[in-house]
Structure 1
Amino acid sequence: MNGIRPLWLLLILLVSGGLGWVAALLTAEAGVVAPVLVRSSTITLGSVALLVLVLGIRVQRDKKRPPAARMNPLVATRTLALAQAGAYAGSLIAGWHGGVLVHLTSATGFGTPTVNDALLMVVGGLVLVIVGYIVEQFCRLPPEDRADGTTDANGRNGEGHRGQTGPAYGAEGEGGYARTNNS
């Protein structure tokens, strides 16, 4: 599993922003309400961000335990996958609503309910991106803390495998990220 790629986050943000702007333009011409998620969606975004953060803190705290007493690496891998998915989804949501926001502020200005909803969704999406990136860092182990205690032929503990900066939580697998013993 590869890490979050900031260039992909930026690309998703820009493309979805352009699509959001076009959608807002087309809906305005058709006389339809702008395609913005309602204000209560920020509760969902906040809840997802909080859940990802709590799970990431759990993984971070678990790293301080002895390797034999740690949680199942599959749990940490799932937390990592959730954090990465949250970051990409947050980028998509923030980009879409950012594009809509650009169109709406030029047409109506700040202060309207739809503009406020779009602004809240942009902030919520960016919070999800930041939390996802932070939790991804929580799911990484330092290079000297390889699960089986061995090193490779160069004396490294999985550091630098396929361009990664260090293995993720649990046993080292493809790309320096966790893999389970059950697979």
Structure 2
Amino acid sequence: MKYYLYFICACFTLNSCYFKPTKFEAKSRLDNGYYRSGNGFSTTFFEVNGDTAYADFILIDKFPRELESDTLYYNAASQSWKSDKSQLAREGKIYRYTSVYTCNTCSVEKEYNIRSELKKDKKLTRQYIDSYKNYAAVNEFHSFVIRQDTLSRINPHYYELKEKVSFFSNLNTISHAEFLKEFAKFKKEVIKK
């Protein structure tokens, strides 16, 4: 029992180190590159490119299951990136991301107030982010299909089609743009039956 307690404490310590925000120099702007923020239940990936930040919020909560993308634009007066529904702003030496998100796959409609600190992540790649986005889109649609089944029977047509389509085995390697093209065809087939 004593060793399990040590193990749990070590996990919490490593988790807090991993999600520790990156401190930035006074009055510095974000460099171009990839960043992340979040906790164990959600994560947001950012790709900063000049005055534009592309944000991909992914609700994880057990597995990637929802995706919402947003584009934020830099405002020099407030030294922050903003969109209609979210903001990435400097607070002291850290950047904080704030937004509100409504859960679509929750059994009861639930609103998340997202408030997380930014972390520079040199290991992040476009392929890694795309794989998370692919899984989130698949799982969100899966939840939608199951919920639409009013007789509480699993839709056999959905699973038959899923077995025939090859891109489900390539979710880690296929780009998100390529995935969306194939996935749109798949969803159209499922919904029309």
Q: Which has the higher contact order (CA 8 A, sep 6+)?
A: 1
- Max Rg structure: 1
- Do they fold alike, i.e. is TM over 0.5? no
| TM-score bin, normalised by smaller chain | under 0.3
TM-score normalised by the chain length of structure 2: 0.24
Name the structure with the higher helix share: 1
